[in-house]
């Protein structure tokens, strides 16, 4: 049997405790769930802050301001392979201005930083969306209706395999009817109303597929947690899962006895 | 008939905790006692496989680990599968690893540790771990224009000018194939919009199930060459490369979990309609 280090076993026990703590919410809101939830939020925030500082601000900002050969070489040097660039005082200044939002008399300064960030993001997003989501998708939707270019089913073991015009028609009708549903300048009644109703059905099928995929994703995550719990229940982890499960059940039983669930009237 | 209706009504109004326990058991039991299910690769997984098969020898392949521990069960088998496929071909492909997610770095290290046990890779000769850079889509855009501005050092602070494998790698255009294991933002969408589409470099993706519906238009329009869709996609890829991994083992649990959910959806709906009919009657 593989001998694991103390820190690995301790990590596994903590992981088992936190996983079971989150699962315990299924019973009711309880201290174990709250501990796991708060630890998760705190660790996430701290992890992100530390990672951002050490992977971005320190090497890419300070690494350029205090670069080897720069004017501040005699004060402090950060050698990350960058050359000194005076332009990087600009993001530093904007960053400081954003932090000043905590002081009431200076909080107007934060708007400069936010405006810059929003402007950059909007410019960057507009380019990507227009090309990949608008132009390319319009091109992809504009199929030759009678080309039969889209197979009915992929699976060649069925009789339905082969090129047909069916999917081209579905694509055309689905796209137009769903778009028409969001056109509110004309009353959706009569034949037009029935057509937009068809668009709603297309949208519902799409939402249904999304829901199905969401459920599948959640089950996959559950499988991941169970796999870990099964792993940690082995002798190489000193039966961590069982110990944690026993501990949580015992404490929860006592806690429930002391704090009976209030019945809804 | 009335007895059956009463049973359905009872089952339809069962406490949610009972449903949780049943789903839990349906998922747990097949994991404890593995069941073999036939896995037939779908069109989209097959396309990813064929794209990698068609790569010319000595290709530069960029793999981006854009996920963290929370979505590891779904995405990790995909990135492992793609890496195994690339290396099993023994065609001199070189792997470059980036991460748009901070915890993606640890996923990449974990994957390399697993792969190293099987293929005995040499760091900076077979692969380069470039690591994580924050900036989301701006990073992809930066890689597209000048990779060396985004990455001056690799994940272990080695200057990339000192890594021979980085010679001739200046932007995304120097890669023949990009694969992103993506769990959300930033991920597949950003790689399509700022990486694949502007450069024309072949791009494939492995995504969480929840993203599949939104990503599919890119696949159908060939902006993405295939997709590994959630855990089933990973299992299909494992079937294609002939390696039974954690995704294949999870498929029975996935299927049984779904059966329980579908049964309760049907029961819930039947109970709703029966209640409605009875209310109309009286």
Give me the residues of B, 171-230, that contact A with CB < 8 A: 189-190, 192-194, 197-198, 208-214, 217-218, 220-221, 223, 229-230
Between CA B109 and CA B97 the distance in angstroms is 10
The predicted structure's pLDDT at residue A125: 86
Give me the long-range contacts of B159-167 (CB less than 8 A, separation at least 24): B159/A81, B160/B128, B160/B130, B161/A81, B163/B124, B163/B128, B164/B124, B164/B125, B165/B94, B165/B96, B165/B124, B165/B125, B165/B127, B165/B128, B166/B128
Q: Cα distance from B159 to chain A (closest Cα, Å)?
A: 7
Tell me, yes or no, if B38 comes closer than 8 A to chain A by beta carbon.
no
Q: Cα distance from A2 to chain B (closest Cα, Å)?
A: 16
Between CA B196 and CA B225 the distance in angstroms is 10
- Asked if residues B94 and B127 have their Cβ atoms less than 8 Å apart, the reply is yes
The predicted structure's pLDDT at residue B239: 94
A217 closest CB neighbour out of B197, B198, B210? B210
Residue A265: pLDDT over 60: no
B73 closest CB neighbour out of A51, A140, A224? A224
The sign of the torsion formed by the CA atoms of A151, B82, B185, A127 equals negative
Q: Do B73 and A227 touch (CB under 8 A)?
A: yes
The predicted structure's pLDDT at residue B3: 85
- The burial class, CB within 10 Å (0-12 / 13-18 / 19+), for A83 is exposed
Which distant-in-sequence residues (6+ apart) come within 8 Å of B89 by Cβ? Answer: B52, B53
CA B221 vs CA A171, A205, B48, B179: distances in Å? 13, 20, 14, 17
Residue A161: pLDDT over 60: no
Instruction: Write down the ipTM of this complex.
Output: 0.87
Between CA A184 and CA A192 the distance in angstroms is 12
Q: Between these two residues, A90 and A156, which has the higher pLDDT value?
A: A90
Interface of chain A toward chain B, CB-CB under 8 angstroms: 26-27, 47-48, 51-52, 55-56, 59, 80-82, 120, 124-125, 127-129, 131-133, 136-137, 139-140, 154-155, 206, 209-210, 213-217, 219-224, 226-227, 230
Residue A160: pLDDT over 80: no
Chain-wide mean pLDDT for chain A?
88
The string of pLDDT tens digits covering residues A205-233 is 999 999 999 999 999 999 999 999 999 99
What is the domain partition of chain A in residue ranges? 1-84+236-265
The string of pLDDT tens digits covering residues A164-193 is 677 788 888 999 999 999 998 989 899 999
Q: Cα distance from A140 to chain B (closest Cα, Å)?
A: 6
Q: Cα distance from A187 to chain B (closest Cα, Å)?
A: 30
Would you state the structure tokens that stand for residue B174, as one six-digit string?
A: 């120097």
* pLDDT class of A153 with cuts at 50, 70, 90: low
CA B197 vs CA A154, B169, B178: distances in Å? 26, 19, 12
Residue A152: pLDDT over 70: no
What is the domain partition of chain B in residue ranges? 2-34+251-281, 43-243
Residues of chain B predicted below pLDDT 50: none
Q: Do B261 and A52 touch (CB under 8 A)?
A: no
Low-confidence winner among A42-51, A76-85, B99-108 (lowest mean pLDDT): A76-85
- The burial class, CB within 10 Å (0-12 / 13-18 / 19+), for A159 is exposed
Give me the residues of B, 147-166, that contact A with CB < 8 A: 152-153, 157, 159, 161
Q: Cα distance from A105 to chain B (closest Cα, Å)?
A: 30
The predicted structure's pLDDT at residue A245: 96
End-to-end CA distance of chain B: 18
DSSP string, B192-255: IIIIIHHH--EEEEEE-HHHHHHHHHHHHTTSSS-EEEHHHHHHHHHHHHT---HHHHHHHHHH
- Asked if residues A2 and A236 have their Cβ atoms less than 8 Å apart, the reply is yes
The predicted structure's pLDDT at residue A163: 63
Interface test with B, best of A27, A223, A231 (most B CBs within 10 A): A223
Partners of residue A56 in chain B, C-beta under 8 Å? 133-135
- Asked if residues B61 and B95 have their Cβ atoms less than 8 Å apart, the reply is yes
Q: Do A132 and B43 touch (CB under 8 A)?
A: no
Nearest CA in chain B to A138: B221
Would you state the structure tokens that stand for residue B213, as one six-digit string?
A: 């519906």
State the DSSP code for B70. Answer: G
Region at B175 (left for phi over 0; alpha for psi -120 to 50; beta for the rest): beta
Q: Which CATH superfamily is domain B43-243 in?
A: MTH777-like (3.40.50.10160)
Between CA B79 and CA B245 the distance in angstroms is 12
B27 closest CB neighbour out of A52, A209, A226? A226
Q: Cα distance from B1 to chain A (closest Cα, Å)?
A: 31
């Amino acid at each position: 049997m593989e001998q694991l280090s103390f820190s690995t076993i301790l990590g596994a026990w903590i992981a088992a405790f936190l996983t079971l703590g989150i699962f315990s919410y299924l019973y009711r809101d309880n201290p174990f769930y709250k501990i796991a939830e708060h630890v998760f939020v705190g660790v996430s925030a701290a992890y992100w802050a530390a990672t951002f500082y050490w992977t971005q601000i320190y090497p890419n900002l300070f690494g350029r301001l205090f670069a080897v050969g720069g004017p501040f070489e005699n004060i402090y040097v950060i050698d990350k392979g960058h050359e000194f660039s005076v332009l990087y005082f600009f993001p530093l200044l904007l960053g400081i201005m954003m932090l000043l939002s905590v002081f009431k008399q200076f909080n107007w300064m934060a708007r400069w930083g936010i405006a810059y960030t929003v402007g950059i993001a909007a410019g960057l997003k507009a380019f990507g969306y227009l090309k990949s989501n608008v132009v390319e998708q319009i091109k992809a939707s504009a199929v030759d209706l009678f080309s039969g270019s889209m197979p009915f089913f992929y699976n060649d073991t069925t009789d339905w395999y082969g090129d047909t015009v069916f999917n081209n028609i579905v694509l055309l009708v689905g796209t137009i009817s769903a778009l028409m549903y969001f056109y509110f300048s004309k009353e959706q009644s009569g034949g037009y109303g029935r057509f937009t109703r068809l668009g709603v059905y297309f949208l519902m099928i799409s939402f249904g597929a999304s829901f199905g995929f969401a459920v599948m994703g959640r089950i996959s995550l559950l499988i991941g947690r169970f796999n870990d719990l099964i792993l940690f229940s082995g002798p190489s982890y000193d039966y961590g899962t069982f110990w944690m499960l026993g501990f949580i059940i015992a404490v929860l039983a006592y806690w429930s006895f002391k704090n009976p669930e209030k019945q809804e009237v | 008939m009335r007895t059956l209706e009463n049973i359905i009504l009872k089952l339809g109004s069962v406490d949610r905790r009972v449903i949780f326990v049943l789903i839990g058991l349906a998922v747990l039991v097949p994991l404890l006692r593995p069941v073999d299910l036939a896995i037939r690769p779908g069109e989209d997984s097959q396309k990813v496989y064929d794209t990698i098969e068609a790569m010319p020898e000595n290709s530069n392949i960029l793999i981006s680990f854009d996920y963290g521990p929370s979505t590891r069960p779904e995405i990790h088998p995909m990135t492992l599968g793609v890496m195994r496929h690339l290396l099993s071909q023994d065609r001199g492909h070189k792997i470059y690893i980036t991460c748009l997610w901070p915890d993606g770095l640890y996923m990449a290290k974990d994957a390399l540790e697993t792969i190293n046990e099987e293929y005995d890779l040499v760091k900076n000769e077979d692969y380069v771990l470039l690591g994580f850079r924050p900036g989301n889509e701006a990073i992809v855009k930066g890689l597209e224009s000048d990779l060396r501005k985004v990455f001056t050092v690799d994940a272990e602070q080695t200057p990339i000018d000192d890594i021979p494998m980085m010679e001739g790698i200046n932007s995304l255009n120097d890669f023949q194939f990009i694969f992103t294991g993506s769990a959300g933002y930033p991920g597949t969408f950003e790689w399509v919009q700022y990486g694949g589409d502007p450069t024309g470099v072949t791009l494939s993706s492995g995504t969480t199930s929840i993203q599949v519906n939104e990503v599919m238009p890119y696949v159908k329009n060939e902006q993405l060459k295939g997709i590994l869709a959630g855990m089933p996609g990973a299992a299909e890829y494992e079937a294609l490369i002939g390696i039974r991994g954690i995704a294949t083992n999870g498929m029975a649990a996935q299927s049984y979990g779904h059966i329980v959910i579908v049964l309760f959806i049907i029961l819930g709906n039947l109970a709703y309609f029966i209640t409605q009919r009875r209310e109309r009657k009286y």
